[in-house]
């Protein structure tokens, strides 16, 4: 085996590892998970521009900075159905993470 073949083999090996890394990243993104434990609920397909503006104006985020104020503990939250990661909201249209938050947070009655 000459040096050129060894170099080509090393290059192909690195190329394969790179492809695996890209595949792993794509798989994580495809499963709908964002950073940490927060699901990524940002597919706004079918949401009107006005509803997107409301989402922005109320500063909705998938991952609340305050664990006591998450959508899952908000009386306006509607739980996901059929095993989905994202639920809904009576105020904000589009997918809503149970770990999310916005300025209209209203705690559920104890």
User: Rule CB under 6 A: which residues touch ligand SF4?
Assistant: 60, 71, 74, 76-77, 89, 91-92, 96, 100-102, 104-105
Q: Phi first, then psi: what are they for 51, rounded to 5°?
A: -70, -35
Nearer to ligand SF4, 38 or 71 (CB): 71
CA gap 38, 71 in Å, rounded: 11
* DSSP H stretches of helix in 46-107: 49-57
Nearer to ligand SF4, 12 or 53 (CB): 53
Least distance in Å: CB of 23 to ligand SF4?
33
SS3 state of residue 94: coil
Structure tokens at 105: 């947070």
Task: Give how far Cα 21 sits from Cα of 26, 30, 44, Å.
Answer: 9, 14, 28
Least distance in Å: CB of 63 to ligand SF4?
12
Nearer to ligand SF4, 32 or 104 (CB): 104
Least distance in Å: CB of 77 to ligand SF4?
4
Nearer to ligand SF4, 20 or 53 (CB): 53
Least distance in Å: CB of 104 to ligand SF4?
4
78: alpha, beta or left? (left if phi > 0; alpha if psi -120 to 50):
beta
């Amino acid at each position: 085996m000459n040096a050129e073949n060894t170099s080509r083999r090393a290059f192909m090996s690195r190329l394969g590892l790179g492809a695996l890394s890209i595949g792993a990243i794509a798989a994580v993104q495809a499963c709908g998970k964002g950073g940490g434990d927060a699901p990524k609920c940002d597919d706004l397909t079918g949401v009107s521009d006005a509803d997107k503006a409301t989402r922005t104006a109320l500063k909705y985020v998938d991952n609340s900075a305050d664990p006591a104020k998450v959508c899952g503990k908000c009386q306006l939250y509607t739980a996901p159905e059929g095993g989905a990661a994202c639920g809904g909201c009576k105020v904000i249209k589009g997918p809503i993470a149970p770990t999310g938050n916005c300025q209209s947070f209203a705690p559920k009655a104890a």
